[in-house]
Amino acid sequence: MPDAISSTKRYLVVDGFINSRGITTIKLSRTYDISSSTTSPVETLATVSIEEEGGQRYLLREGSTKGTYTSANLALNTIKNYRLLIRTTAGKEYASDYTPVKTTPPIDNVTWHPTDTGLGIYVNSHDDANATQYYKWEYEETWEIIPLLSPQLEYKNSIIQEITTLFPKVCWSTAQSTDIKISSTTRLTRDVVSDYLLRSFSTTANQFRYKYSILAKQYALTPEEYNYWALLKKNTENIGTLFDPLPAQITGNVHPLNDEAELALGYVGVRSVEEKRIFISRSELPANWNVLTGYEVCVPPDTIYIDRPKPPPPPVADILRSAFGLGSSSWPLAPVYDGSNTLIGYTSATLDCVDCRRRGTAVRPSFWQ
Amino acid sequence: MKHLYSWFVFLLFLLASLTSNGQQAEKTISGNFSHVPFEQFASQLEAQTKLRFYFNPAAVDSLFITLQAQDVPVRTALERALQNTPFHFAIDDENRVFVTAGVTLEPSLPDSFFRSEREGNLANNARTTEKAPASAPGRSRYVREAEAKLYEIGSGSVRGGKVTLAGHIRELKSGEPVIGATIYSEAPSVGTSTDQFGYYSLTVPAGRYDLKIRGIGIKNTRRQVILQGDGKLEIEVEEDITPLKEVVIEAEKDKNVSGMQMGLEKLDIKTLRQVPTAFGETDILRVVLTLPGVKSVGEGSTGLNVRGGATDQNLILFNGTTIYNPSHLFGFFSAFNPDILQSVELYKSAIPAKYGGRLSSVLEIKTREGNKKKFSGSGGIGPLTSRITFEGPIIKDKSAFIISARTSYSDWILHRLSNNSFRQSAASFYDISANISHQLNEKNSLYLTGYLSADRFRLASDTTYQYRNQTASLKWQHNFNNKLYSVLTGAYSHYAYDITSEKNPVNASRLKYGIKQTSLQADFSYFPSSKHTVDFGVSSLVYNISPGSLTPNGENSLIAPDILAREQAVESAIYASDRIDFTQRLSLSLGLRYSLFNALGPRDVYQYTPGVSRTETSIMDTVRYGSGKVLATYHGPEYRMSLRYGLTDNSSVKASYNRTRQYIHQLSNTASVSPADIWKLSDANIRPQVGDQYSIGYYHNFRANTIEASVETYYKSLHDFVDYKSGATLILNHHIETDIVNAQGKAYGVEVLVKKLTGKINGWVSYTYSRSLVRVNAGTPADRINGGRYYPSNFDKPHDFTLIGNYRFSRRFSSSLNFTYSTGRPITLPLAKYYIANSLRVYYSDRNAYRVPDYYRADLALNIEGNHKVKKLAHSSWTLGVYNLTGRQNPYSVYFKSENGQIRGYKLSIFGRPIPTLTYNFKF
């Protein structure tokens, strides 16, 4: 291991955009050591506001999630330029460049087509005014999960007993898009996005075991912001092959106001958001697809034997405590008997196999239908 | 003995100088002779004239004369009489006629003395070649005789008082030309050196000269000539058999100071062999890398960075053909078998006008022509490779062949490398070079060279790389007359790689790339007088590139075929240069090369919105050019100027200015040159590179030219060479120009070199301070790198110290020590990580803002020669070496990558331990 660069600099990271029609959410954090295994340090108690060029300011408040600042539901003037102003508790000030408001055209539709190799989810949009041209998308996907194993037992008070509270039968798992999805229509004679591949799945993707939903979010970008995301994508996502390109530095449009030595990372654009949600059920997909459950590793379940190793086996209570006691992630499923109907143990599975809340929430999302 | 020679020489001189007086009072004779014994013929002539004949009666007892003469001058009569016989005659002023057989005692006036008058323009030939007695051993009688002999050349009727002497200098035993040998006269001081064919041409006032011949690996010799008219003198010299003595550069003894050329590094095979290498194999590129001004990013790379130039800015010529990938095995080996090599020349500042097409340097590698007299061979067995060479005459003294092959036979070394992925790899390679030379007649010679190198290696058991160079060239050398000769070269060069991946049948693919280059070049050398040396010529070169194709490999592959359109272009140039020697102290070389480049269709060319960063999104239009249509033209002059001023006999100052243009670019945004790098032609969107270099140097020789010292400083500016936008995609990119930016570069430095090439201790010490900086300041701010400021290039290593030392214990044992120190190379490191857009990302420092730790390494080698009997079945030698004696783990790179959610760092050393090698070499 080479000497890590112990940069004492903890640069401000600004993640978010100014929503011209709605609530603006900005997350402030700091860069941190490569070798650190924690989550990124949040920047709390900062003063964050949206400033209209030559006009008024709208304050963002830090909510219960530290480092996340939200505005009121705003409707900004689309012919003005706006910027984000940040003042940290240390007194450092940062501002993004004044940026014109891009009004995002609505998503025409979100479609999906099964192919031989899997499923593609596509987004279509257009702007008759030819004013958008640069598009960025994010998505949030949610799918139902139903564990294969439903335990009838639990380990409580040092014994195996009938379960008192059943695990939820259904949960909903949610994931955010992590890769940068951008496209431009500048090569086309009309400002039309046709079947942009937003998400693709193989034929076995477990998201489609029951029901799946995707919320596509569309943003219009300025050319500068488009270039920023394109560069960031190349530098951090399309890297790591044998022919590693030489890496480069990317900062964005947020700059320190009172300290030239400071630096901020991130690009704060100003735009509206358009969203569209669709649902896909397993029954709509080709029947011959071998869709996985996501619980393949859980079957067949393991068995905890109480009659071995022989002779003589340790006390049953010890076996059970080490298998299911405090600190264990296993859960008893059902008793196991031998040929003479003697209890010799219990089948078991990890908590992840039986409790779907480990992978999502048991609270039915409000949009779920 | 020596005195006797001098005395003899003096006598001959006397004889020769007096003959011309004798000519005035020449008698004529008449008579009909039909198969008359020579003794009878002689007595008849004695009766008619005052001549007295001297000859060995036993030698002439089978000589019969048939001659019809009516008032024919005696000389003519004798000449005709002895025509087509092995006999020669000479007449002194006392009317004594000496008749002898062969060269042995033949004094000065060959039978061809008058031929020039009869045969018109053809210059006289001093017949010297065929007379070496077959039995002459060692430092032969032949040489003694040739040195003692006075060659009288020319007819005496000279226009303007200047005559041109030309010919070849060849090695006596093998008949191979001696390249770069100097032939000069001390008083008056004139001289020249042989070219790649061993050819020389010397224009001097008529008169008597004592010509000295010095050359690399040959014994010093001399020839005495009386020049009365244009003529030829073929010179055969002896090989210096004991290579450990007087190793090198004797030829160049004072070249450091007196030569015109600056920034020229010349290495012969014997120097190359002494330098220890990692695998015990003589490796020309490794030795070139020890020269001042030459750097590479690291040990695993043979990519040369000459005076701040990129690795694609070196024209690597192998007998006139361009080599696109001069290395084997990721760059650990150079792809040239040392046994066939004759010499290596690196031009790093003043590049002669005949060369063009690359910005920074010309590395000219020349092979031997093969032994023209007898069949012989040589070879070597090393830890990783074995090699064998055969050579011999096809037609004795006229044509010869040499063929040399080398192959690797194990993956042994790979398994010793500290990098795990290397350990799982396999590698094999081979190369074959062959050369045939044929002398059609005195005026025409042909040279045919073929070269093939191929590599196949598997990286970490998934991807198989194969690449190969194939080149061929045919040279036709034609001498118009002593003052003008031409070389017509046709060359073909092909480089291709093929990367296949097979492990996953779904992803199995084949990626191919290929470049073909066909060229025709005519070079002329004209020697109008001793003050001028004129070179001129034209060349044309056709490129044909298959920029890349990705195709499915196997039936189950789901890879979508992706094939980039071909690229074609023609690069032509015309050049002329004149070296003017104003006085002995001052000489000037002026050269101009004008190059023209046409990129040709068929091709679709994207047009981009001006003023915006070129991305796919800024493509405005696509213009389709038909087959053969010119889609872009670039042209411009390339100035080549140099000046020398001799301050004293031992010191001089030289200066040069050079402009070079380059129309082909190697695309590589990896730190080290990889075999998968591609070459791209200039086109409508990619401008050619232009470079200017100014250099000035001071040269001083000490101790009777045994120690050479030089200080050269240079400033170089480079325009429009390619650099890459962050995260550029170079492979299979349909619009590569969107990922390329035009970079500007500047490089400057001082190179100090002290060289001692004779004596028990020899070698060189060099120190270089140099900087190589790049700036990308064009386009939009997003395209700029490091904010548009200058930043160090990948190979910017300011301090560099190299010691190459050889110590000879005896003629059979010698040792070599290498020591190298340099500043660590610049790298880009991640400074921090951060979370944005739902993902953890890495923030990098400014490009090349950090450096790996300093590099140093010492190597040791011991050479043991077999006994030095000249005649034995095979000469053999052992080379025992240790590479990286101290086992220092010099970091090649430091990098960070994500693994299991964490970003981890690694330090990679290529040769992190001492590597011992043992090589056995033989020659028969």
pLDDT at site B561: 80
Residue given tokens 């059970």 in the structure block: A320
Is A2 in Cβ contact with B835 (below 8 Å)? Answer: no
Extents of the domains making up chain A: 12-101+238-268, 296-355
- pLDDT digit string (tens) for B496-539? 998 887 766 656 788 899 999 999 999 999 988 878 889 999 99
Which residues from chain A sit within 8 angstroms of residue B906, using beta carbons?
Answer: 1-2
pLDDT at residue B427 above 80?
no
pLDDT at site B256: 63
Q: Which residues contact B77 (CB under 8 A, 6 or more apart)?
A: B29, B45, B67, B69
- pLDDT digit string (tens) for B179-209? 778 888 877 777 787 877 788 888 888 888 8
Q: What is the CA radius of gyration of chain B?
A: 31
Of A29, A35, A226, the CB nearest to B835: A29
**Burial tier of B461 (Cβ tally within 10 Å: 0-12, 13-18, 19+):** exposed
Å between A115 CA and nearest CA of chain B: 13
CATH of domain A12-101+238-268: 2.60.40
Is B841 in Cβ contact with A247 (below 8 Å)? Answer: no
The predicted complex's ipTM stands at: 0.86
Q: Which residue of A has its CA nearest to B892?
A: A2
Is A39 in Cβ contact with B845 (below 8 Å)? Answer: no
pLDDT at site A25: 95
Give yes or no for B873 touching A (CB within 8 A).
no
Query: Mean pLDDT lowest for which of A302-316, A335-349, B196-210, B903-917?
Result: B903-917
Is A231 in Cβ contact with B615 (below 8 Å)? Answer: no
Give yes or no for B905 touching A (CB within 8 A).
yes
State the CB neighbour count (10 A cutoff) for residue B300: 24
Residue B709 amino acid letter: A
- pLDDT digit string (tens) for B440-460? 888 899 999 999 999 887 765
Rounded to whole angstroms, the Cα distance separating B99 from B92 reads 12
Give yes or no for B735 touching A (CB within 8 A).
no
Q: How confident is the model at residue B125 (pLDDT cuts 50, 70, 90)?
A: very low
Residues 318-347 of B with CB under 8 A from A: none
Higher pLDDT, residue A62 or B265 = A62
Is A7 in Cβ contact with B834 (below 8 Å)? Answer: no
Q: Which residue of B has its CA nearest to A236?
A: B841
pLDDT at residue B861 above 50?
yes
Of B676, B838, B844, the CB nearest to A243: B676
Give yes or no for B839 touching A (CB within 8 A).
yes
Å between B421 CA and nearest CA of chain A: 12
Is A224 in Cβ contact with B782 (below 8 Å)? Answer: yes
Is B726 in Cβ contact with A249 (below 8 Å)? Answer: yes
Rounded to whole angstroms, the Cα distance separating A114 from B691 reads 56
Locate B166 and state its tokens: 């030309």
Which residues from chain B sit within 8 angstroms of residue A180, using beta carbons?
Answer: 837
Q: Contacts for B104-109 with beta carbons within 8 Å, 24 or more apart? A: B104/B131, B104/B133, B104/B145, B106/B149, B107/B12, B107/B15, B107/B16, B107/B149, B107/B150, B108/B12, B108/B15, B108/B16, B108/B19, B108/B149, B108/B150, B108/B151, B108/B152, B108/B226, B109/B16, B109/B19, B109/B152
Rounded to whole angstroms, the Cα distance separating B20 from B283 reads 56
Q: Which residues contact A256 (CB under 8 A, 6 or more apart)?
A: A92, A93, A94, A262, A263, A264
Q: Per DSSP, what are the bridge partners of residue B360? A: none
Interface mutation target, options A12, A15, A221, A227, chain B, most CBs of B under 10 Å: A227
Q: Are A308 and A122 in contact (CB under 8 A)?
A: no
Give yes or no for B900 touching A (CB within 8 A).
no
Q: Per DSSP, what are the bridge partners of residue B839? A: B836
Interface mutation target, options A15, A134, A228, A242, chain B, most CBs of B under 10 Å: A242
Is A242 in Cβ contact with B617 (below 8 Å)? Answer: no
Average pLDDT of span A164-168: 90
pLDDT at site B495: 94
Is A223 in Cβ contact with B670 (below 8 Å)? Answer: no
Domains of chain B: 1-109 (3.55.50.30), 264-923 (2.40.170.20)
Q: Tell me how many residue pairs between chain A and chain B have CB atoms under 8 A apart.
A: 170
- pLDDT digit string (tens) for A233-265? 777 765 544 445 567 777 889 999 987 778 899
Å between A294 CA and nearest CA of chain B: 20
pTM: 0.66
Task: Outline where A53-178 has alpha helix (H).
Answer: none
Which residues from chain A sit within 8 angstroms of residue B786, using beta carbons?
Answer: 249
Residue given tokens 């017509």 in the structure block: B488
pLDDT at site B590: 93
| B221-227/B150-153 β-pairing | parallel
Å between B900 CA and nearest CA of chain A: 11
Give yes or no for B856 touching A (CB within 8 A).
no
Which residues from chain A sit within 8 angstroms of residue B780, using beta carbons?
Answer: 227
Rounded to whole angstroms, the Cα distance separating B913 from A204 reads 49
Residue given tokens 């981890």 in the structure block: B904
Give yes or no for B670 touching A (CB within 8 A).
yes
pLDDT at residue B25 above 70?
no
Of B830, B836, B897, the CB nearest to A266: B836
Is B906 in Cβ contact with A2 (below 8 Å)? Answer: yes
Of A29, A250, A266, the CB nearest to B726: A250
State the CB neighbour count (10 A cutoff) for residue B430: 20
What DSSP element (H or E) covers A232? helix A223-236
Is B832 in Cβ contact with A9 (below 8 Å)? Answer: yes
Which residues from chain A sit within 8 angstroms of residue B674, using beta carbons?
Answer: 243
Q: How confident is the model at residue A198 (pLDDT cuts 50, 70, 90)?
A: very high
Q: Are B543 and B565 in contact (CB under 8 A)?
A: no
Which residues from chain B sit within 8 angstroms of residue A11, using beta carbons?
Answer: 832, 834, 843
Please give the DSSP secondary-structure letter assigned to residue B111.
G
Å between B681 CA and nearest CA of chain A: 21
Of B616, B669, B845, the CB nearest to A245: B669
Which residues from chain A sit within 8 angstroms of residue B671, using beta carbons?
Answer: 246
Higher pLDDT, residue B745 or B269 = B745
Highest mean pLDDT among A57-61, B173-177, B217-221, B831-835: A57-61
Q: What is the mean pLDDT of chain B?
A: 79
Is B617 in Cβ contact with A11 (below 8 Å)? Answer: no
pLDDT at residue A76 above 90?
yes
Q: Which residue of B has its CA nearest to A185?
A: B617
Q: Which residue of A has its CA nearest to B842?
A: A236
- pLDDT digit string (tens) for B774-800? 998 876 665 677 778 898 988 888 999
Is B839 in Cβ contact with A178 (below 8 Å)? Answer: yes
Of A33, A133, A240, the CB nearest to B897: A240
pLDDT at residue B476 above 90?
yes
Of A223, A230, A246, the CB nearest to B847: A246
Which residues from chain B sit within 8 angstroms of residue A179, using beta carbons?
Answer: 839
DSSP B433-445: EEEEEEEEETTEE
| 3-class secondary-structure state, position B552 | strand
Q: Which residue of B has its CA nearest to A225?
A: B782
Q: Which residue of A has its CA nearest to B731?
A: A243
Is B828 in Cβ contact with A243 (below 8 Å)? Answer: no
Is B839 in Cβ contact with A236 (below 8 Å)? Answer: yes
pLDDT at site B524: 94
Higher pLDDT, residue A245 or B608 = B608
Give yes or no for B785 touching A (CB within 8 A).
yes
Locate B546 and state its tokens: 């298959």
Highest mean pLDDT among B268-282, B346-360, B660-674: B346-360
Which residues from chain A sit within 8 angstroms of residue B616, using beta carbons?
Answer: 184, 187
